[in-house]
Structures are given as C-alpha cells and as structure tokens.
Amino acid sequence: MSGVQTPHDRLGVFKELADVPNSRRLHQYASAYEGQDTWAGYRATVDLGERMSEEWARFSRRWKDHMDERGRHHALAQPDDVEAWSVWMLDSFSVDRAYQHWNVIEGLYDWLKWHTEHPHTYNPFHMAAVEPESSTREIWSRKIEKRNA
C-alpha cells in the first residue's frame, strides 16, 4: 500500500455512492444475501492464531450487530453505515482500537471486490473515508500512519 495516502487513491471508477448506477448499488442484492454468512466465507480464507481469531470474531459480531440495527446485511453496507459505525467506535474506543476493528472489516469489502461470485464493485469503507472531517477519515488517517511508521 506504499504511496497510497488518501482513500480517493483506493477508489476505482466510482468515487462516491452517487456515481454508482442504482442497478449496481449493494442494496439491490439484499435478497441474494439473505441468510448468507458472507463473513464466514471471508474468514475461512485467513489463517489466524487463537487470540487473533477471537478478536476477529468480536469485530465481526460488532459489525454484524451494527448492520442488523441499520436493517442491512453485513456485506451490503453503504458509506453512511460505515461512518455511523466509525463514530460509534471512536466514541467507545481509542483511535487505535477503532482502527483494529475498521481495518478487519474493510478487508472483508476488499475481498468481496475480488471475488466474482459477489457483485461488489466499490468499497463503502473507502467511499466513507473520502469525507475529510469524518470519523471514518480519522480512522483511515490512523491506518496510513501505521502503514508509514
């Protein structure tokens, strides 16, 4: 990720949700994801030790709970969902702990974009981080600091 400094650098052709044609927005796939544990499919691809496995389970549970409260599947977030979660995390944890949560779930969305069985053509985590004064941007900035350290 060297050289990547802004979330805009990570965005593809769709720079904001308004750029995404309605037919390609993630909410259009709600019925296809109903009852699916997409997280489990992603998690099975990552080899973790016991401690990190427990951490990831905690992070995913918090993300799934958040998305349930917002009435969406955990793999079908909108940038506003990410920002609301980022606000909650920064209110609840240190920026480093919020970054740990955020980074793991952001990884799910990167994974989804690279798998043809999923319709993901954008990462809502990156779209949410574009806003310069957002909580998501604050967490993104911590990510870049850690990568450049």
pLDDT in tens, 62-100: 999 999 999 999 999 999 999 999 999 999 999 999 999
- Report how many domains make up the chain: 1
Q: For residue 86, is it within any domain?
A: yes
Average pLDDT, the chain: 90
* 3-state SS string for the chain: CCCCCCHHHHCCCCCCHHHCCHHHCHHHHHHHHCCCCHHHHHHCCCCCCHHHHHHHHHHHHHHHHHHHHCCCCCCCCCHHHHHHHHHHHHHHCCHHHHHHHHHHHHHHHHHHHCCCCCCCCCCHHHHHHCCCCCHHHHHHHHHHHHHHC
Q: For residue 39, is it within any domain?
A: no
Q: For residue 1, is it within any domain?
A: no
Q: What is the pTM assigned to this prediction?
A: 0.90
Q: For residue 117, is it within any domain?
A: yes
- Position 13 confidence tier, pLDDT thresholds 50, 70, 90: low
Q: For residue 24, is it within any domain?
A: no
Q: Provide the domain limits for residue 58.
A: 50-148
Q: For residue 100, is it within any domain?
A: yes
Q: For residue 77, is it within any domain?
A: yes
